[in-house]
Amino acid sequence: MTDNSDDLIDPTEPTDDQSDDVLTPRIYWGMLIVLQTAMAIELVLLLFEQQWLNATLVLGSIGLTMAPAMLTPRLYVRIPAEFQLLAIGFVFASLFLGESLSYYDRFPW
pLDDT in tens, the chain (109 residues): 555 555 555 555 555 555 446 667 777 788 888 888 888 998 898 899 898 988 898 898 888 878 877 877 788 777 777 787 887 788 777 777 776 677 777 777 6
Cα–Cα distance, 5 to 8 (Å, whole number)? 6
Instruction: For the chain, report the end-to-end CA distance as a whole number of angstroms.
Output: 60
Based on its alpha-carbon atoms, the radius of gyration of the chain, rounded to whole angstroms, reads 18
18 backbone dihedrals φ, ψ, rounded to 5°: -110, 0
